[in-house]
Amino acid sequence: MEQETTNKTAVITGYALPYILAVAVASFIGNLIFHPFFFSITYAIVTSIVALIIPFAGIFISAYIINALAPSFGSTPNIDNAFKLVIYSYTASFLASIVSGLLPILFFVSIAGLYSFYIFWIGFTPMMKTPEDKKVGYAIVSILIMMGVYGAIAVTLGFITAAFFLTGVAYLY
């Protein structure tokens, strides 16, 4: 990761976006196949849009916060490296989300996404140039930030979509 000369835009469009789109498509197909009687096609579309927004926003917000915290932990701030670290560490989570989205009965496969934390840990020092004595603290704070950002976005969008479906607006189309 460290030797790559790509900038954040290239990594987002060339690496993250295809995975995020695959997660959304898998979610759409999985919802159409396995939930056809309980939910409308609107449900499948809305959950697919949510599946697009959560990781995309999570990557952006997490990378910017992790980069902003770099000087506090003696690390070198580099927004391109922060984006690469966050995006590449999400790979296991993307793959697990594709499988569990396509086949919701295999929801337990999502636990394989925890491998993302290991990928993050391995790439942390070379990408952020963190001194060994501050690596553990910075990595833990960064992982908690990633989880918190992801959770906050998911809860917020969950409330919005719940209101959308509970008011009956989704069933008008």
The pLDDT of residue 113: 85
The CA-based angle 102-107-110, given to 5 degrees, is 95
Encoded amino acid at 143, one letter: I
Structure token digits, residue 74: 């003696």
φ/ψ region of 58 (left if φ > 0, alpha if ψ in -120 to 50, else beta) reads alpha
* Nearest Cα to Cα of residue 110 among 154, 159, 63, 60: 154
Query: Measured between alpha carbons, how far apart are the two ends of the chain, in Å?
Result: 45
pLDDT tops 60 at residue 172: no
Q: How do residues 90-114 score in pLDDT, each as one tens digit?
A: 999 999 999 988 887 887 888 888 8
Look at residue 47 in the predicted model and tell me its pLDDT: 85
pLDDT, average across residues 28-53? 81
Residue 64 CB neighbour total at 10 angstroms? 15
**What's residue 173's pLDDT?**
52
Q: Is the pTM of this model over 0.95?
A: no
